[in-house]
Chain A
Amino acid sequence: MTSSYTDYTVGAPVADTAAPGGPIEERWERRRFGVKLVNPANKRKMKIIVVGTGLAGGSAAASLAELGYQVSSFCYQDSPRRAHSIAAQGGINAAKNYRNDGDSVHRLFYDTVKGGDFRSRESNVHRLAEISLQIIDQCVAQGVPFAREYGGLLDTRSFGGAQVSRTFYARGQTGQQLLLGAYQALERQIDAGGVTMYPRHEMLDLIMVEGRARGIVARDLITGETRSHLADAVVLASGGYGNVFYLSTNAKGCNVTATWRAHRKGALFANPCYTQIHPTCIPVSGDHQSKLTLMSESLRNDGRVWVPKRKGDDRAAGDIPEDERDYYLERKYPAFGNLVPRDIASRAAKDVCDEGRGVGPTGLGVYLDFSDAIGRLGRSAVAAKYGNLFDIYQRITGEDPYAVPMRIFPAVHYTMGGLWVDYDLQSTIPGLFVIGEANFSDHGANRLGASALMQGLADGYFVLPNTIGDYLAGARLGPVDPGAAEVRAAEQEVANRVETLLSIDGNRTVDSFHRELGHLMWDQCGMERTDEGLRKALDRIPELRREFWTNVKVPGTGAQLNQSLERAGRVADFLELAELMCLDALHRTESCGGHFRAESQTEDGEAARDDKNFSYAAAWEFTGQGEPPVLHKEDLHFEYVMPSQRSYK
């Protein structure tokens, strides 16, 4: 079935010309040998801007400075240590095979391609699996306090989507500890003069000169000053766009502005509809809710998921007898039970809530019940495993999960889509590189648990520092005149936009627009997408955008710390991105990974891929706000892992 929606055109295919051929296990080595090198004396003269200081940006900025480049690092937070990688809980995958349980680089590669539902590039994923080994070595050398066994060696645990134990962790704070490692390396370079740090600065536009990325326009969030920063190359490490849904597990400040501004300047945006909904988050408690909190996936190892069998059964959980409960995951997926992958667990929860069997005050929740585990293992054993998570739950909900079942509901967690990059992590704009969650990444249509940290650090520590030199050595860049017309124009554009936002002086707050957009996206472009719903959203988004630009209220001035103004700029960009997400979701009439089209399912309600028509990455070209974009397809080829239907029955 093909879409009848015609509001886009199909352009020339896009090809990854940086990827070398040959046997897959030799490609990364071949590429490293093939790149042009920059001699150390020249590196000292070259300047690189890195936007974002999470695992990808922080590790990249530190590593590039160690190589001798002059680095300028930007983050909107007051300190680079606060980037949202800090909140990752579970762990980081690496194919060390320390457990002797049959793991290997090839197996991690295989699991990741399959887990991504065959919508990623084999070459990239294999490189990721190879580099996973070095990441653990690097982080241990930096002093990351990973969990250890009594013999002093590193401990690992199992995670969803894998049958081997390859996840390294630091209690429930792995992201924090890895980020502090990168942050400390970055601070060391700041002290040594290799990195100039710009905290509380937000990138508001990309500066292009003669078709190349040559700098950014950034706003100093304290003084309000916007000015240009020029460089030989620009690296975006600005994270994902899950906050388009308003409620998500992202930090409040996470935004799409850096990547969206680059998209508007010509960088293709790939697979925007691929978003990951995490099944185990604390449900929304009311209209005031500002963010959602994740409860680690590991809880599903011992918790049993259920809802009442009867619709509208509002008895307390403890009053519902065993035979009136529906342990629906165990019933529908006897082989994997409560441990089915994230996309499947999320959708199943939505289904039972849609049937009117959801629990809690809003009816949007399911039980995650530990009473069997407490009976089997004892309360203290359960506390030793999950105590900190139970504490978080109790702190937020005021309920004691040892006594009553937890209530959980899916929430937006991660975005697999992002700016299109080639094997060198360079976007379609020469000199603009994109790393970490901000690029369209190695995860295809679904990311496996504990793989985000792996990808962020692989890109920042090991891939980008090796590939960026090829561009810099070959580009023969002259200095940019700060008074050049292109620079002045970008500065002016940013100044005008800020001025416009402040002058509208309407009747609705920024957050009210953001909430409405988020509701719309969650309903129509969330866990389940339909032709009808996506069209509804595509009708509504431009209206909402028009209303925003005529009726938003942004108090204060531009020459001060103005958090309303910051949010207004971000929401304005979400209002454009949302349209592209819905269009991408509408055009992809198949289901794959986190993208579930109700029209494309198997007889028993599972996602049905359409490899014949959709085995490609969809890279979109911007042609103007509200104008039909151009679709460029990158065909995906599988030589090592043959596409098959995922089954967890």
Chain B
Amino acid sequence: MKLNLKIWRQAGPEDRGRLVAYRVDDADEDMSFLELLDVLNERLALDGEEPVAFDHDCREGICGACSMVINGEPHGPQKATTTCQLHLRHFRDGESITIEPFRAAAFPVVRDLVVDRGSLDRIVASGGYISAPTGSAPEAHATPVPKANADRAFTAAACIGCGACVAACPNGSASLFLGAKITHLGELPQGQPERSDRVVRMVETHDTEGFGGCTNTGECAVACPKEIPLDVISQLNRDYRKATTGGRRSA
């Protein structure tokens, strides 16, 4: 199949960047979207042009590295699918496809389609964990966890940290990402001792990193390739309110 691509090219953070048109005539409907870029990049390299830089690694939808906006949608048109698992059979022969990086104030562009998502790591570093130094753990069965809580924790923990929620949000908010971690750890008995501090610190980091506020548009949950439910944001808000108004925070 033949495809007309318009790809965001930007040499570095200081460059203004622009969309550049490319045509690929030897695409195949069994190709993944990233394989389409591989084919283009091989050709560009042989022509002495610089290939399109893009983040990718596992190519099986779990590492969260791939991060492109395809025809206006983070990870493209297919529901619950990362870019690496999107196949060309979902596009028409001759179709035009626009490919841009995940854009947000907290995700500066590094080069072409590559952005810096270190801000998400810093949110986790500020409290997205349970403090359990190696060797200090009690027997695993010492604390039973009701199955319903364990299942809800898992559903939230399935987040792959790709940042599609941020790219989809008109405010550039990471509330779905943040809410997923708050819900995962908050559902478990092991997560209770640090629950109040965690939410306060993580929200603070979220805001100082330049992510916007949540206005309940819900675009994040639509874009999420792991279908993290929107109600993790309600959980985030409940925990935050409790932590900041109940006088429970020690610091």
**Does A173 lie within 8 Å of B62, measured CB to CB?**
yes
Q: B residues 44-86 with Cβ under 8 Å of A?
A: 44-46, 48-51, 53, 55-65, 78, 81, 85
**Does A82 lie within 8 Å of B87, measured CB to CB?**
no
- CB < 8 Å neighbour of A465 from B38, B87, B111, B134: B134
**Does B45 lie within 8 Å of A555, measured CB to CB?**
yes
**Does B144 lie within 8 Å of A153, measured CB to CB?**
yes
**Does A252 lie within 8 Å of B59, measured CB to CB?**
yes
Interface window among B122-130, B164-172, B239-247: B122-130
**Does A561 lie within 8 Å of B53, measured CB to CB?**
yes
Inside 8 A of B30's CB, which chain A residues have their CB? Answer: 285-286, 288, 397-398
**Does B188 lie within 8 Å of A77, measured CB to CB?**
no
Which A residues form the contact surface with B (CB < 8 A)?
59, 62-63, 66, 77-82, 84, 86-87, 96, 98, 134, 136-138, 140-143, 145-154, 170-171, 173, 176-177, 180, 183-185, 187-188, 190-191, 197, 199, 222, 249, 251-253, 285-286, 288-291, 293-294, 392, 395-398, 461-462, 465, 507, 509, 511-512, 553-556, 560-561, 563-564
Inside 8 A of A137's CB, which chain B residues have their CB? Answer: 137-140
Q: How far, in whole Å, are A63 and B136 apart by their CA atoms in the complex?
A: 11
Q: How far, in whole Å, are A227 and B184 apart by their CA atoms in the complex?
A: 39
Inside 8 A of A465's CB, which chain B residues have their CB? Answer: 134
Which B residues form the contact surface with A (CB < 8 A)?
11-12, 28-32, 34-35, 38-39, 42, 44-46, 48-51, 53, 55-65, 78, 81, 85, 87, 89, 110-111, 114, 116-118, 120-121, 124-126, 128-141, 143-147, 150, 153-154, 157-158, 160-161, 184-185, 188, 190-191
CB closest residue in chain B, given A291? B59
Inside 8 A of B64's CB, which chain A residues have their CB? Answer: 79, 81-82
Inside 8 A of B125's CB, which chain A residues have their CB? Answer: 187-188, 190-191
- CB < 8 Å neighbour of A188 from B35, B120, B129: B129
| 19 A-B contact pairs sorted by A residue (CB < 8 Å) | A62-B134, A77-B63, A79-B118, A79-B120, A82-B57, A82-B64, A87-B63, A141-B130, A141-B137, A145-B150, A147-B154, A148-B145, A184-B130, A285-B30, A286-B30, A286-B31, A396-B85, A553-B45, A553-B46
- CB < 8 Å neighbour of A145 from B38, B89, B184: B184
Q: How far, in whole Å, are A408 and B193 apart by their CA atoms in the complex?
A: 47
User: When A and B form their complex, which 3 residue pairs have the shortest distance between CB atoms, in order from nearest?
Assistant: A152-B144, A184-B129, A141-B137
Inside 8 A of B150's CB, which chain A residues have their CB? Answer: 145-148, 152
Inside 8 A of A563's CB, which chain B residues have their CB? Answer: 51, 53
Smallest CB–CB gap between A106 and chain B, Å?
20
**Does B110 lie within 8 Å of A561, measured CB to CB?**
yes
CB closest residue in chain B, given A154? B140
Inside 8 A of A183's CB, which chain B residues have their CB? Answer: 124
Instruction: Given A79-B161, A462-B134, A561-B110, verify A142-B85 contact (CB < 8 Å).
Output: no
With A79-B64, A86-B62, A396-B85 known, 6 other A-B pairs at CB within 8 A are A140-B143, A141-B190, A142-B132, A148-B145, A555-B45, A561-B111
- CB < 8 Å neighbour of B118 from A149, A180, A199, A556: A199
Inside 8 A of A197's CB, which chain B residues have their CB? Answer: 121
Inside 8 A of B126's CB, which chain A residues have their CB? Answer: 191
**Does B161 lie within 8 Å of A81, measured CB to CB?**
yes
**Does A251 lie within 8 Å of B141, measured CB to CB?**
no
Instruction: Given A79-B121, A395-B81, A564-B45, verify A143-B130 contact (CB < 8 Å).
Output: yes
Smallest CB–CB gap between A255 and chain B, Å?
11
**Does A141 lie within 8 Å of B132, measured CB to CB?**
yes
CB closest residue in chain A, given B153? A145
Smallest CB–CB gap between B43 and chain A, Å?
9
Inside 8 A of A151's CB, which chain B residues have their CB? Answer: 144
**Does A251 lie within 8 Å of B130, measured CB to CB?**
no
Inside 8 A of A87's CB, which chain B residues have their CB? Answer: 58, 60, 62-63
CB closest residue in chain A, given B90? A398
Smallest CB–CB gap between B35 and chain A, Å?
5
Q: How far, in whole Å, are A554 and B41 apart by their CA atoms in the complex?
A: 12
**Does B118 lie within 8 Å of A98, measured CB to CB?**
no
CB closest residue in chain B, given A460? B134
**Does B147 lie within 8 Å of A251, measured CB to CB?**
no
**Does A252 lie within 8 Å of B56, measured CB to CB?**
yes
Q: How far, in whole Å, are A392 and B32 apart by their CA atoms in the complex?
A: 13
Q: How far, in whole Å, are A151 and B158 apart by their CA atoms in the complex?
A: 23
**Does B157 lie within 8 Å of A290, measured CB to CB?**
no
Select the residue from A78, A148, A291 with max chain B CB neighbours within 10 A. A78
Smallest CB–CB gap between B112 and chain A, Å?
8
**Does B140 lie within 8 Å of A136, measured CB to CB?**
yes
**Does B116 lie within 8 Å of A170, measured CB to CB?**
no
Inside 8 A of A149's CB, which chain B residues have their CB? Answer: 147
- CB < 8 Å neighbour of B63 from A82, A134, A170, A556: A82
Smallest CB–CB gap between A467 and chain B, Å?
14
**Does B129 lie within 8 Å of A140, measured CB to CB?**
no
Instruction: Given A78-B117, A81-B161, A136-B140, verify A142-B190 contact (CB < 8 Å).
Output: yes
Inside 8 A of A461's CB, which chain B residues have their CB? Answer: 134-135
CB closest residue in chain B, given A176? B62
**Does A187 lie within 8 Å of B129, measured CB to CB?**
yes
Q: How far, in whole Å, are A149 and B150 apart by their CA atoms in the complex?
A: 10
CB closest residue in chain A, given B130? A143
**Does A84 lie within 8 Å of B87, measured CB to CB?**
no
Smallest CB–CB gap between A181 and chain B, Å?
9
Inside 8 A of B39's CB, which chain A residues have their CB? Answer: 288
Q: How far, in whole Å, are A143 and B182 apart by their CA atoms in the complex?
A: 12
Q: How far, in whole Å, are A78 and B101 apart by their CA atoms in the complex?
A: 15
**Does B87 lie within 8 Å of A396, measured CB to CB?**
yes
**Does B42 lie within 8 Å of A511, measured CB to CB?**
yes
Inside 8 A of A294's CB, which chain B residues have their CB? Answer: 60
CB closest residue in chain B, given A554? B45
Instruction: Given A62-B134, A98-B141, A462-B134, verify A143-B51 contact (CB < 8 Å).
Output: no
CB closest residue in chain B, given A512? B42
